[in-house]
Structure 1
Amino acid sequence: MRKFKALFGPLCIAAASTFFASCDSSMNPVEYNNKLMSVMNEQEKHMNEMNTAMVSQDFAKAESVRKTWVEQLDKSIGEVNKIAAAKDDGGLKPAVEQGLKEYKKIAGESYKELIGLRTKEKNGDTSVLPQIQVTLNRINQSFEAIGANINKASYQFEKNHSKP
């Protein structure tokens, strides 16, 4: 029992120090990264809903998802704006903010166009097939560019905050 008591005191001091250090008003790098990534990951729900609606050719549902997604993106952009940039951010917050703005452009413009084209196709207009492919390519390329930009900034952030 004596060894336990000898370790208990220093452990309590260490725990208290950690607790008080974490009460700082700014987030630590892990919390900061997780908060930003959480906002980005929230978009996956809308993407999945959009894909489900488009695959099932429920274009009224797709349009509803699109409008909801655009509204949510405005809130997400505002949420990111409220997060104080971390020291040695490495461009992570601006990349996330830009990514959300690009998502808004995709949801607000590209998916609106795609829904209209798919509706025409469903109604028998096959002349829109080339436009559909161009729009799909544009959407996919935009998603890839967003991901690459955020991954690059995330790598830099990790590099700036990893201990040697």
Structure 2
Amino acid sequence: MNFIGKTKKPIKIIIRKKPTFFFTRFIIVIPGYDSDVTDMKTQNILKLAATLGCIFLLASGCKQDPVDYNNKIMEVLNSSITDLDALNAAMEKEDLANAESVRKAWETKLVSSLDKLKGIGDFKGDASFKNASVQALETYLNIVSKDYKRLIELRGLGDKADGNEINQVLNRINQDFEKAANTLNAASDKFAKEYTSQ
């Protein structure tokens, strides 16, 4: 046991983890220690002990597995596009009420997925793969909240709809999906090359 200062009582380091966040709160409890004591030497020793304890605990828990990190991100991304088939099927059947319902549900799911993805954190200080994933989801969200919404509105007009605008919206949807996928695949390949060989 470590004894610090004049108290001769052991220091207890209590670690409290909140499962929904990616940080650990450290609380140092010294039985019988009065926080009003202004003994600078004791305070400096306490700060040093707390700092060293934090560094040790963080260093021992910082081993990140690139496969697990990749899987976390891909799980969020893959669950974010499951509504695409349902939306396309509703559009093909010209069931516009169902298409709008699916679109709204997908939009909500994408917002939630973005929050999850942003909470994952970096991999050993490198945020490039996560940032590319966030960018891809933001592109998907833009497509779903604006382009698909407009496409449903246009299809609802029937013969009065501008065929050129429909084609422009469809082309923009396809181009944006392709661009997001290419950017994400490039970031994923770079991440795999950089970290799986370690």
CA distance in 2 between partners of 1:25 and 1:109 (Å): 40
How far did 1:163 drift?
1.9
Q: Which residue of 2 aligns with 1:31?
A: 68
CA contact (8 A) 1:29 1:161 kept: yes
Q: Which residue of 1 aligns with 2:86?
A: 49
CA contact (8 A) 2:91 2:99 kept: yes
Secondary structure of the 1:85 match is: coil
Alignment CA distance shift 1:27-1:43 (3 Å): same
Structure 1, residues 61-113: CA drift from partner, whole Å, max 9, x if none?
Answer: 11111111111111100001110210264611001101111111100000010
Q: Which residue of 2 aligns with 1:107?
A: 144
CA distance in 2 between partners of 1:134 and 1:142 (Å): 12
Q: Which residue of 2 aligns with 1:141?
A: 175
Secondary structure of the 2:139 match is: helix
How far did 1:24 drift?
4.1
Q: Which amino acid aligns with 2:138?
A: K
CA distance in 2 between partners of 1:44 and 1:76 (Å): 10
Secondary structure of the 1:78 match is: helix
Q: Which amino acid aligns with 1:131?
A: E
CA contact (8 A) 1:59 1:119 kept: yes
How far did 1:27 drift?
4.2
In structure 2, the gaps of 5 or more residues are 1-59
CA distance in 2 between partners of 1:114 and 1:81 (Å): 29
Q: Which amino acid aligns with 1:155?
A: D
CA distance in 2 between partners of 1:37 and 1:62 (Å): 26
Q: Which structure shows the bigger proportion of residues in helix conformation?
A: 1
Q: Which has the higher contact order (CA 8 A, sep 6+)?
A: 1
Alignment CA distance shift 1:55-1:84 (3 Å): same
% of aligned pairs identical? 37
Q: Which amino acid aligns with 2:76?
A: V
CA distance in 2 between partners of 1:135 and 1:26 (Å): 45
4+ long deviations beyond 6 Å? none
CA distance in 2 between partners of 1:120 and 1:46 (Å): 24
CA distance in 1 between partners of 2:170 and 2:102 (Å): 17
Q: Which residue of 2 aligns with 1:97?
A: 134
* TM-score when normalising by structure 2: 0.66
Q: Which amino acid aligns with 2:88?
A: N
CA distance in 2 between partners of 1:39 and 1:116 (Å): 29
* TM-score when normalising by structure 1: 0.79
